[in-house]
Amino acid sequence: MTPQIVLRPAAPEEIPALLALWARAAKGTSITDDEAGVAALLARDPECLIVAAAADDPGTPLGTPLGTVIAGWDGWRCHLYRLAVDPAHRRQGIGAALLAAAEQRFTALGGRRADAMVLDENAVGHRTWQAAGYHPEPQWSRWVKPLADG
């Protein structure tokens, strides 16, 4: 059965539940996948972590989180991270709804183009991004330098 969902910004008190969701639903891990990392994100931009939560869950006031996306706007570019939907609730339009909400946020903030890092081997991810209108730019690679141990 497709659950009724609400899309809303993440609340600091649900950070452990979101980390648990990412552990079972997200593809790959992020260097900031811990309580301090997510708390810093929400302190910097309280609206950027969008949660799809079950609307009809009286047991939890916030509703059980079923999916997330981070719609990161730094004043210059629009970056999408941590698009993930609970494996038990996939192919119900939640991922597409999260991306639509993220794009709405970017547009309202003046963003002109959204981007995401997608693992080359993530075929389901490719289909999802493609269905939402994204395409790869093969001329780029990701260049990184760790700034802290760990």
Ligand X SMILES: CC(C)(COP(=O)(O)OP(=O)(O)OC[C@H]1O[C@@H](n2cnc3c(N)ncnc32)[C@H](O)[C@@H]1OP(=O)(O)O)[C@@H](O)C(=O)NCCC(=O)NCCS
* Residues within the interface to ligand X (CB under 6 A): 25-27, 83-85, 90-96, 116, 118, 122, 124-125, 127-128, 131
Residue closer to ligand X by CB (options 43, 113) is 113
Token pair, residue 78, equals: 């629009």
What interhelical angle do 123-131 and 94-109 show, nearest 10?
50
Smallest separation, CB 149 to ligand X (Å): 26
Residue closer to ligand X by CB (options 110, 131) is 131
Residue closer to ligand X by CB (options 85, 114) is 85
- Beta bridge mates, 69: 50
Smallest separation, CB 73 to ligand X (Å): 18
| Cβ-contact 8, 53 below 8 angstroms | yes
CA–CA distance, 23 with 58 (Å, rounded to integer): 24
Smallest separation, CB 30 to ligand X (Å): 11
CA–CA distance, 75 with 96 (Å, rounded to integer): 24
Residue closer to ligand X by CB (options 31, 96) is 96
Q: Which residue is nearest to ligand X (CB)?
A: 95
Smallest separation, CB 130 to ligand X (Å): 7
| Cβ-contact 113, 77 below 8 angstroms | yes
Amino acid at 32: T
